[in-house]
Amino acid sequence: MKIIIVGATGTIGSKVNANLEKDHEVIKVGSQSGDLQADITDPESLENLFEETGSFDALVSATGAAHFGPLQEMTAEDFDMGLQSKLLGQVNLVLTGQHYINPKGSFTLVSGILSEDPVADSVNVSAVNSAVNGFVKAAALELENDVRINAVSPGVVEDSPELFDAFPGHTPVAMNRVVKAYRKSVLGISNGEIIKVW
């Protein structure tokens, strides 16, 4: 399979890439690194990306920024960060990518546990993760040519100890479980599923 991994050098993306590249042709995409560079917040940048990659079998997203901070201090600009990057950025990958993906291909986006289990300062992230999940469920009903779409929803991962204090009482998730969730989405038959790794 020809798989595009967006965010391939990040904490999660690098592990997913290492797993999938053993058996598949992987194109690593980052904002400043990887085989190719693209800005997920810019549809023209993504159009250029897919023109360069050509048709593909699966797109994996392990990217997207959002704002973490107290509601009392949050501005509209702060909140817009998550909307433009983690939400609309991933939506852009699908809106543009649907015209390049091969029949029976798949999209895998990333959301997270905060959609259902918020912690302090997570208003923007929680809202955006919920919206990503909603997009996936609805898009699964309309994508053509038997193209599938799922979201992987991880808890705080064991490779991000700097985040542990922000998730009191949460058990860090083993990275191999997150990788298996991505494999399930890419290589399995699930469609419209929020694959929880909590």
pTM confidence score: 0.98
Q: What is the pLDDT along the chain (198 residues), one digit of tens a residue?
A: 999 999 999 999 999 999 999 999 999 999 999 999 999 999 999 999 999 999 999 999 999 999 999 999 999 999 999 999 999 999 999 999 999 999 999 999 999 999 999 999 999 999 999 999 999 999 999 999 999 999 999 999 999 999 999 999 999 999 999 999 999 999 999 999 999 999
The pair of three-digit structure tokens given for residue 73, joined into one six-digit string? 């201090």
Distance of CA 32 to the CA centre of its chain: 17
d(CA 136, CA 17): 22
* Residues spanned by the domain of 32: 2-197
Say how many domains are in the chain. Answer: 1
Using CA atoms, how far apart are residues 42 and 137, in angstroms rounded to an integer?
24
Q: Domain holding 68: CATH number?
A: 3.40.50.720
